[in-house]
Amino acid sequence: MTQISLHPRLWRGAVTALVVAGMVGCGAADSASFGDDGATTLTDTGGIRPGTDSEPQDTGVSDTATDVGITDAGPPKCPPPPKGKANVCIRVLRGDDGPSLTADAKKTLGIDGNGILAVGLAAVKPEYDATFVAKTIYPSSSSGVSKIAAADLPKVVEALSVEPGVYWPFGAFRDLEPWDRASPAVGDFQPRPSDLSSITVSSGDSLHVDLVIYPLRGIDVRPRLLTTPLGSGAGPARAWFVHPLKGVMMGQGVATCIDLSIDKVDPIRIYTTYTGTFDAVFEVFDFGLGADPAGLLAAGGIHGRSSKIDILSSDWLVTERKIDLTEVVPFTGPKPVDASPNCAAFATAPVK
């Protein structure tokens, strides 16, 4: 089995490592996108809690798959597996064409609509970490073809042979080389986590699975400090889109460390598989010494919000937006020592 970490500070996989997250952002900031539209909700008190909200509606947010490649006649039959195993054949389809591949997109972003499919089966639902027990690339190295066009989807990858059990199919289309980069990027396609579901296979099964992927769009958001931090003002950071009515998270990015004391702070790139109008929240996890920014609105955190960010169907990368950080989350008990005065110290700090 291959252990894959989807957090940007831990993710160092090869191209067959089928990422949900781990995106490299602008400047020195690492970014990660989960497109996590159904996993968390924003409460009225400003906190984040687990939620069961369905797909958002009636806010101009597009969440409906088009008929791109989905209404075809169906995939070929999945071949029989080796003795004692099961075969899973994954057909990858586009749920959305994505923005036009203009000359400007090719020049500024390097997107040309051609790339590879990386597909596999995970032992658990791909979130922060996942263990992939079977994986493949399309086109294969033996095919004599180095790339395929996203417009040529749907494609059925070679059968994945696994032991009987429960698995999570996952895959991504990567437009930009190198294929073994430890990050998705604008121009890639990936599933929406709320669409992912598990499959159960028994010995002798030959199972076909459809996996719908959507274009990754993005925006760079740059923080501006307008309050007094409780600590050094340096630490891990996260930015995320919030559904304007339901509070459902619609995409996000993270940075390994941001130092708000410097003159020009690096932005974080938020990635999303949706179009529509969103609010964006930005938080720096002051006191987050050596810890992954897994929590949202943590004690000591510095945060702010920007409303009405439009991600249009014609956009790959939206014009940068500044977010004013105006609030600090108070501690309910004694304030801990912030032993990380800057990002250099944070990088060498012991993990708590």
Query: Which tens digit of pLDDT belongs to each residue from 92-131?
Result: 999 999 998 888 888 889 999 999 998 999 988 886 445 6
- Which one, of 2, 170, 159, 169, lies nearest residue 82 by Cα? 159
pLDDT band at 324 (very low <50, low <70, confident <90, very high): very high
Average pLDDT score, the chain: 77
Q: Is the pLDDT of residue 42 over 70?
A: no
Whole-angstrom distance, CA of residue 12 vs CA of residue 304: 31
Q: What percent of the chain has pLDDT over 90?
A: 47
Whole-angstrom distance, CA of residue 39 vs CA of residue 21: 15
| 186 CB burial (10 A radius; 0-12, 13-18, 19+) | buried
Whole-angstrom distance, CA of residue 84 vs CA of residue 205: 9
Say what the pLDDT of residue 60 is: 54
Whole-angstrom distance, CA of residue 138 vs CA of residue 117: 5
| 52 CB burial (10 A radius; 0-12, 13-18, 19+) | exposed
- Which one, of 222, 262, 242, lies nearest residue 31 by Cα? 222
Q: What is the mean pLDDT of residues 160-187?
A: 88
The DSSP output letter for 248 is B
Say what the pLDDT of residue 293 is: 54
| 58 CB burial (10 A radius; 0-12, 13-18, 19+) | exposed
Helices and strands, counts by H and E, the chain = 2, 21
35 with 190: CB under 8 angstroms?
A: yes
Q: What is the mean pLDDT of residues 211-227?
A: 96
User: Tell me, which fold does domain 9-16+64-215 have in CATH?
Assistant: Immunoglobulin-like (2.60.40)
Condensed to tens digits (0 to 9), the pLDDT of residues 253-292 reads: 988 889 999 888 999 999 999 999 999 999 999 887 555 5
Lowest mean pLDDT among 230-234, 245-249, 318-322: 245-249
pTM across the whole model: 0.77
Q: What is the mean pLDDT of residues 228-239?
A: 92
Condensed to tens digits (0 to 9), the pLDDT of residues 291-312 reads: 555 567 888 899 999 999 999 9
Condensed to tens digits (0 to 9), the pLDDT of residues 122-151 reads: 988 886 445 689 999 898 877 788 899 999
216 with 271: CB under 8 angstroms?
A: yes
Task: Annotate 140-164 with DSSP letters as a single string.
Answer: -TTSS---EEGGG--EEPPPEEE-S
Q: What is the mean pLDDT of residues 169-177?
A: 91
CA angle 294, 22, 117 (to 5 degrees): 135
Backbone angles phi, psi at 193, to 5 degrees: -55, -30
